[in-house]
Amino acid sequence: MTTMTEASVREFKMPDVGEGLTEAEILKWYVQPGDTVTDGQVVCEVETAKAAVELPIPYDGVVRDLHFPEGTTVDVGVAIIAVDVTGGAPAEAPAEAPAEPAPAKEEPSEPEGRKAVLVGYGVAESSTRRRPRKGTRPVEPPPAEDKPYTAPALPGVQGELNGHGTGAAGPRPLAKPPVRKLAKDLGVDLATVAPSGPDGIITREDVYAAAAPSPAAEPVAGTPATAPAAPTAPAVSAAAPAVSYAAARETRVPVKGVRKATALAMVGSAFTAPHVTEFVTVDVTRTMKLIEELKQDKEFEGLRVNPLLLIAKALLVAIRRNPEINASWDEPNQEIVLKHYVNLGIAAATPRGLIVPNIKDAHDRTLPQLAEALGELVGTARDGRTSPAAMQGGTVTITNVGVFGVDTGTPILPPGESAILAVGAIKLQPWVHKGKVKPRQVTTLALSFDHRLVDGELGSKVLADVAAILEQPKRLITWA
């Protein structure tokens, strides 16, 4: 998204990199004023409420100005960088201008009512104007006469950028956006990190290793010199600055990105949809045995087979038997929208926070296809590559809180969905089986649903069906 301010200067605006996103935070600049850029070269990395994205510049030229420093949240449509597309001759250079100034490069025509943005085309011009947030003023670039912001010189930043240009500082370190975000949170310079991933890619573990404190030159009295190092902090702790209790009484962390989006969604859902949560404890011993058998099946070779796979399939069968659960409430039109498809959401904890990508048309997938889709979804979320489109259009969600060792929870509905299933930890417990108390593998399920469109009878039937399938997985065949 660009505008022309002078005949030779183009302003590149913050594009809408998702579906309806209104702002993004500038995480890192990869160029400085005076640098030459080429069409397609990445100039900065931004973080939206859904993903970290690298922005390429859509034309050749010389950077005239960076309008905002790193860490600034900028509204979509606001200019963030100015580029001189005529070659960028310095103003103080001897004036040997041609007889006529070079005409500005003509913009390619766009379909009427649409503007080109980073991903395809943006939405059509709207007649409505977005109301500014309370307590804030619209973000605008500084006046032209102000001293332009100059990004600090970083080792390796001015090396190769997407194959364009070289620099004496060496190539830019290879790392995925979430790894770069983690390094920034921990104060680690990626140029100093030794990569261990394939093709020289810096991994999350490399960043944690670089952030770990160096051992003391001399061991503390009474402590062996070869004492094992403290375990590495989990990824989720990277969201908050590492400050000891002795250093400060409190630490304030800005609410932005995924955390801000999650907060808005959860508050909106909790105070809009009347939640009801029901629980059931079930013997899943037969399901766990089936999982071990499926792992040996050649149809699942190379695929991850785990309890979540059969729980997802059980929920899909339960929805087929009770299709009214797969719906949404349309408040403006006062209608209940019945969905004849299932986009199955899977809540995933990532270093950037909680996200809920979904498997499109999960109801049409075979068990091996569902296993493949789950593997791709989890791997993409873990690597921070989940696209905004993958998090849109969910109809029903599963959240597996059992991976944290807890029995269950009372999940809040994702906005626009009518049900969410929480799965607790599977534990070996005493259970009455065939008239005798035996150790069995047991878990607790919790189903939250929107009581505006789901009555207690319907919610109870869905939860009971899921439990019945997990207790007797052969019902996947008889009921499907």
Both structure tokens of 343: 């986009």
- Contact, 388 vs 258, CB < 8 A? no
User: Helices 285-295 & 307-321, crossing angle to 10 degrees?
Assistant: 120
Catalytic hit among 275, 340, 363, 451: 451
Residues contacting 402, CB < 8 A, separation 6+: 408, 423, 424, 425, 426, 443
164 among known catalytic residues: no
SS3 annotation, the chain: CEEECCCCEEEEECCCCCCCCCEEEEEEECCCCCCEECCCCEEEEEECCCCEEEEECCCCEEEEEECCCCCCEEECCCEEEEEECCCCCCCCCCCCCCCCCCCCCCCCCCCCCCCECCCCECCCCCCCCCCCCCCCCCCCCCCCCCCCECCCCCCCCCCCECCECCCCCCCCCEECHHHHHHHHHHCCCHHHCCCCCHHHEECHHHHHHHHCCCCCCCCCCCCCCCCCCCCCCCHHHHHCCCCCCCCCCCCCCCCCHHHHHHHHHHHHHHCCCCEEEEEEEEECHHHHHHHHHHHCCHHHCCCCCCHHHHHHHHHHHHHHHCHHHCEEEECCCCEEEECCCCCEEECEEECCEEECCEECCHHHCCHHHHHHHHHHHHHHHHCCCCCHHHHCCCCEEEEEHHHHCCCCCCCCCCCCCCEEEEECCCEEEEEEECCEEEEEEEEEEEEEEECCCCCHHHHHHHHHHHHHHHHCCCHHHHCC
Q: Which residues of 27-36 are buried (b: 16+ CB within 10 A; e: fewer)?
A: bbbbbbbebb
Distance in angstroms (rounded) separating the CA atoms of residues 299 and 301: 6
CA 16 to chain centre: 16
Distance in angstroms (rounded) separating the CA atoms of residues 359 and 371: 11
Instruction: List residues with catalytic annotation.
Output: 451
